[in-house]
Amino acid sequence: MSDETKYHLAWQGDTGIKVGRRLTFTKEEGDARCVELNAEDPTRIHFLVPQGEVPEIPDIPVKSEVVPYDDGDLMPFGVHGAKPMRSVPAQYLDWLQGQPSLMQAWPRLEAYIAKNRGAIDQDLRQSGALE
């Protein structure tokens, strides 16, 4: 027997919790969709919010593997926002890594910097910014 309460599909991602306002599901339909979407994108956790309720962060374990940005992905914010990641200066990426609140808010960016740490350090050495 299906739960007649309608649910909104919501997700927790890089920028906090979002709720799909036009997407409503029964619990069974929504649960199936959440499983499918969570498998597609490990940086977002999808969950259901009963219609009319304010979403709270669910007690769902976060997947430990964060997919880093690719070189062609666009920098999501800041003075170098909308540039391809490969075009963001090494000094800026190095500075960002020292900003814990930004790294916590943007785990894919943190993973990109970690993945490219060797190249970033090499660029910093060549520019004289790292000894």
Higher pLDDT, residue 105 or 6: 105
For the segment 25-46, what is each residue's pLDDT rounded down to a tens digit?
Answer: 667 776 777 666 666 666 666 6
DSSP per-residue codes, 9-40? EEEEETTEEEEEEEEEE-HHHHHHHHHHHHHH
Average pLDDT value over all residues in the chain: 76
Confidence class for position 86, pLDDT limits 50, 70, 90: very high
pTM value surpassing 0.85:
no
Helix (H) or strand (E) holding 94: helix 90-97
